[in-house]
Structure 1
């Protein structure tokens, strides 16, 4: 038996194109999920480094407060200070030690979160502490807004959804026209074993044409439904584009303001540290009260912690800006419609392993560990930075 259906009204072609658009949509969704995980990993990593910097500040402050406590106790023995000064120094020291323990607990929790993102058991994962925060400024291209439509995978995904809805309209329209097909049947029949005799052969062929006459408005309703679905995807595409532009503007605003704020706080830290040293020297010489020393120490610690927190937020804002710009992704990485992986009608080999499709890598071959980690290769790059 053989049959053939001519595609007069592009119904079959639209179905094929719809599936290709769907394949491209899935590739864009894969890129969007990967970008989201990578951005989350980078943000968590900079949070971890910010906690390292805070822990270093608390550790250095604790050493300074221990020296201050020794000085105060010595002055108490010399009857040059009161017991109140010693109690204030002890309170400052013990409170700072408690803050350090809290920061260390936060760091361990964040390290566990990173371990999950890189697909590693938290108990066997560790990142060495590093108190240096490198805030490298990003270079933003002037033509970014115009090229953003090709650099965001979520925009490409929304556009492919709109393309699928457009194909569905063509399929719904084709249902109004006659359905034509050609068919040919053949075979052999005999009561004995002489089946190959040409005289025993049977052959039939013909054409069928079907046309919907009355279906109670079903075809018209399906066409209207396809148009409504198209309008929905069009509005979703527009909202995705506007959201992308907003994300970029938010990222630019955050990075610029936080960079300026970080510069001001660095100057504030320098002034507070200088005040702390001068006040401590005056106290050792008996020219200042310990309350002045305590106020200077608290101000210095708060200024340093605030500066590190702002610098961490600045790095996280840079991550958000990179994510808003697509993270280096481009629409050219989508699988081309004429290069989508396909299987031939008589193909029996190579069916177990998928072919690569655009930016989507194929899974590992049988017997190898599957590649299910989308963030692992990026951790070493972050640590190098």
Structure 2
């Protein structure tokens, strides 16, 4: 039957209304930011997410471990699965506004014997039913908008996981090399103190030294020996941390790491850019912004439920009956709209709207907090790293001075011009200065790592950002 003006007009109005969407549209969130960091410049660094800043350590082993971590870390792999879940969530959300078609079929055989015996009867049924909920006020479009924002947040979450892995691998590697350096210092000092003990024992045998001198020298040897087991424990614990991050057995990595290497020293002066760069480069800030977008879209979903909904539904059914003496076919169809109008629900729908609005406000505050935290992280790391070079330089000079003092005191002790106490004091000073220098080098490396992580650098290395 050809539609008349009276039947076509309501359908046209439905289609017009289906273009409406209630609820607020997402606007880019804003918060006041300084034009520069307290010890930074006013020039943007642009996109630093693909900058492999760890290359500044010139350590191929560290480069390999970071590459392995980004591809094999279990937290990163879980984050990638979360992306797949969110991607399916987009399809699920979008399916609500599409027509649904369901098919059915059945075959039934029946026969009865006895007084009321009947012939065998075969009944075949088949049908199709279709339904389409008109998205008059954008409930399903807002739901899909929220799902897409959640998908974006999942991508950012994977970037957070990658950046965290890079930070942790680099940190544990630096710590492992630090403890190896302390072990090397302890073993070198142990050799020096054993030489001093042997010299003192020889002087005692020659009558040129007292038993007290020997006991003091031996005590310093044992004191040095006592530090070595703890340092070895600390080294192995850092390697175990690395093994967990990489998802490999600890003995495998331990054998490689026991081939000692120098402490990592960053040969680079990093530029922190400007605070506004963090909005683009920090994955946790982007994740919070996308979570805000999802929360804003959910307000539209909640508001759309306050309005009427219309469903167009129809069905076609075909019947075939085969029996003796009756055989025949039949068909039926139906079509029509149905209207659902919320009248009284005890305030649940309005409460749902208010709850969604509160969730959006909380998401904005979470985004703002992530921005402030990003600025603080960068400021703290920048201040620390800018002062590390001066500390390391002064301690290198200190080690050189105390080493010279030790050599002079040892020469004087051999010549009888100074006491053993002078030598032992000089050895302690050298030991302390060497440990302080190793700690300063480690701290400089850790601050360099923290600064690059704070500005959001490196997590997109080897990633196809366009595909996200």
Deviation at 1:334, TM superposition (A): 9.1
1:19 to 129, 144, 147: 147
TM-score (norm 1): 0.81
Alpha carbons 2:181, 2:438 under 8 Å: kept: yes
Q: Report what 1:367 is aligned to.
A: none
Give 2:161's match in structure 1, choosing from 22, 25, 33: 33
Gapped runs of 5+ residues in structure 2?
1-128
Shift of 1:146: 1.7
Instruction: Name the counterpart of 1:79.
Output: 207
Report the secondary structure of 2:435's partner residue. Answer: helix
Residue 102 (structure 1) aligns with: 230
Matching residue of 1:344: none
Query: Which residue among 212, 232, 236 is the counterpart of 2:342?
Result: 212
User: In 2, distance between residues paired with 1:12 and 1:83?
Assistant: 91
> Where does the alignment leave 5 or more consecutive residues of structure 1 unmatched?
337-356, 359-385
1:308 aligns with 2:438: yes
Q: Which residue number in structure 2 is paired with residue 348 of structure 1?
A: none
Q: Secondary structure at the match of 2:131?
A: strand
Q: Which of 56, 62, 80 pairs up with 2:190?
A: 62
**Superposition map of 1:221-240 within 5 A:** 221-240=351-370
* Richer in strand (by share): 2
Q: Over aligned residues, Cα RMSD in angstroms? A: 2.1
SS in 1 for 2:134: coil
The 2-side partners of 1:67 and 1:192 are apart by: 111
Mapped to 1, the partners of 2:350 and 2:272 lie a distance apart of: 48
Using the alignment, how far apart are the partners of 2:240 and 2:216 within structure 1?
Answer: 37
CA distance in structure 1 between the aligned counterparts of 2:351 and 2:365, rounded to whole angstroms: 21
Equivalent of residue 289 in structure 1, options 402, 406, 419:
419
Question: Which 10-residue stretch deviates more, 16-25 or 301-310?
Answer: 16-25
How far apart are 1:139 and its partner, in Å? 3.4
Q: Deviations over 1:291-317 (max 9, x none)?
A: 111111101101101110121122122
Cα distance between partner residues in 2 of 1:224 and 1:162: 16
Gap change, CA 1:130 and 1:144, over 3 Å in 2: farther
Alpha-carbon deviations, 1:305-348, whole Å to 9, x = none? 11101211221222222221223246xx7978xxxxxxxxxxxx
SS in 2 for 1:187: strand
1:201 to 295, 319, 331: 331
Match of 2:275 among 134, 137, 145: 145
Residue 260 of structure 2 corresponds to residue 130 of structure 1 = yes
Checking the alignment, whether the CA contact within 8 Å between 2:272 and 2:378 is kept in structure 1 is no
Question: 2:220 matched to which residue of 1?
Answer: 92
| Alignment pair present for 1:172 and 2:307 | no
1:14–1:335 distance in 2 versus 1, CA, 3 Å: farther
- CA shift for structure 1 position 105: 2.3
Q: Over residues 47-68 of structure 1, what are the superposed CA-to-partner deviations in whole Å (9 max), with x where a residue is unaligned?
A: 0100111111111111111221
Q: TM-score of the superposition, structure 2-length normalised?
A: 0.68
Shift in Å, 1:18: 1.2
**Equivalent position of 1:278 in the other structure:** 408
When residues 68 and 45 of structure 1 are mapped into structure 2, their CA distance, relative to the original with a 3 A threshold, is same
Distance 2:183 2:286 in 1: 43
1:120 corresponding residue in structure 2: 248
Larger radius of gyration: 2
Task: Name the stretch that deviates more: 73-82 or 291-300.
Answer: 73-82
